[in-house]
Amino acid sequence: MRLLIFFFMSALMLHGTGQQEHQFTIFYTSSLNGNLDGCACKSAPRAGLVKRAFYLKRERDVDTSLLVDTGDIFNIYEDKLLAREILEVYRELDYDAVAVGDQEFSNGIAELLANGKEYPLFSHNLTLCPDESRCIFFSNEPLVIEKSGFRIGLFAVLDPEVFTLYPEEVKKQIKLSAPQSVAENMLRMLEDVDLTLLLFHGSYEKAAELAENVEGIDVIVVGHEQRLIEAHKVNDSILVSPGEEGNRLGILTLALTPKGPRRRIKYDNHFRLFKYEDDEDDAAVRRRIERYKLELREKLQSGGS
């Protein structure tokens, strides 16, 4: 009875303010590390994209939610066949945006540029210089996505420090603008959206520093370090990270009142942990895995690089 009274009074108070809440869910992932398939390895268990796909196809309502990834979806080693299969699965799962991580450079600059034209890869502070005569902005404008009349403004940045140990021949082809200045510019372009979301590829500390210094970012999803970080507030931004090896799907549910001086954002976050030995395969992804293994074997037998 007390619970019923509480809900009734809460609804009455909300009605009295004239502010209706809009509920919205963000599904988020990170650091797949090329794990199209997984293994039940005791030292480093990996569920694989084959498990995540089964869940998402059945549990996600595409029309009322967002699905994003903060990058490092590829292996650290060159493998264009594997990259193709992963990107195709991400497209089939209707990922709205995938941030470029440092591992997305594993197949070369030209391949990254080509993938950026075909798949929903984004990085708004990244410029690539494939040769000495030209440099290309990877993503020019923030992404605005409308779901059920709700407008989300999204952008992605790469922390320059993730390339500290990369060889000079790679670093000379990459230019990274300061994340803070890019974030401020993106937010100026997103003044009319209902929610702002940043995909931050870098350390948690750098993401938290950005949240402290830049007003107006509602949600920051962090990736790269493979740290599991529960949702919490830094300044007015909600920060969260789903952890290692692509094993978890983060599910962040928001309840927002309209923008204004009295705006409120309530949130609930939980993680769906996938296990190779327990969760069911997605049949279509399993077929992709078998095809990839066959093509890789044929390539190795023919001496292909």
CA nearest neighbour of 85 among 122, 35, 130, 160 = 35
Q: Which two tokens stand for residue 141?
A: 């404008």
Indicate the pLDDT class of residue 305, thresholds 50, 70 and 90: low
Give me the percent of the chain exceeding a pLDDT of 70: 93
Q: Which residues contact 34 (CB under 8 A, 6 or more apart)?
A: 73, 74, 75, 76, 79, 82, 86, 103
User: CA 258 to CA 243: how far, in whole Å?
Assistant: 31
User: CA 104 to CA 33: how far, in whole Å?
Assistant: 10
Per DSSP, the chain holds a count of helices (H) and strands (E) of 8, 15
Q: Which residues contact 134 (CB under 8 A, 6 or more apart)?
A: none
DSSP letters spanning 120-136: -EE-TTEEEEEETTEEE
User: CA 44 to CA 36: how far, in whole Å?
Assistant: 15
Asked whether 274 and 52 are in contact (CB, 8 A), the reply is yes
Q: Which domains does the chain carry? A: 20-301 (3.60.21.10)
Q: pLDDT tens, 71-92?
A: 999 999 999 999 999 999 999 9
> Would you say how long the chain is, in residues?
305
- Count other C-beta atoms under 10 Å from residue 57's C-beta: 15
Q: pLDDT tens, 131-190?
A: 989 999 999 999 999 998 899 999 999 999 999 988 898 899 999 999 999 999 999 999
CA nearest neighbour of 42 among 302, 265, 279, 277 = 277
H-assigned helices in the chain:
2-17, 49-59, 80-92, 109-118, 168-171, 179-188, 204-213, 283-301
Q: What is the DSSP letter of 102?
A: G
pLDDT at 24 over 90: yes
Average pLDDT score, the chain: 93
User: CA 63 to CA 36: how far, in whole Å?
Assistant: 26
Q: pLDDT tens, 257-287?
A: 887 777 889 999 999 999 999 999 999 999 9
Tokens 């594997």, located at residue:
82
pLDDT (0 to 100) of residue 19:
62
- Count other C-beta atoms under 10 Å from residue 131's C-beta: 9
pLDDT (0 to 100) of residue 263:
80
* Cα 221 versus chain centre, distance: 7
254 versus 5: which is more confidently predicted?
254
Q: pLDDT tens, 97-119?
A: 999 999 999 999 999 999 999 99
Query: What are the two backbone dihedrals, phi and then psi, of residue 5, each rounded to the nearest 5 degrees?
Result: -65, -40
Strand order in the sheet with 195-202: 143-147, 150-158, 195-202, 219-224, 237-242, 228-234
CA nearest neighbour of 250 among 276, 231, 235 = 231
Predicted TM-score (pTM) of the model is 0.91
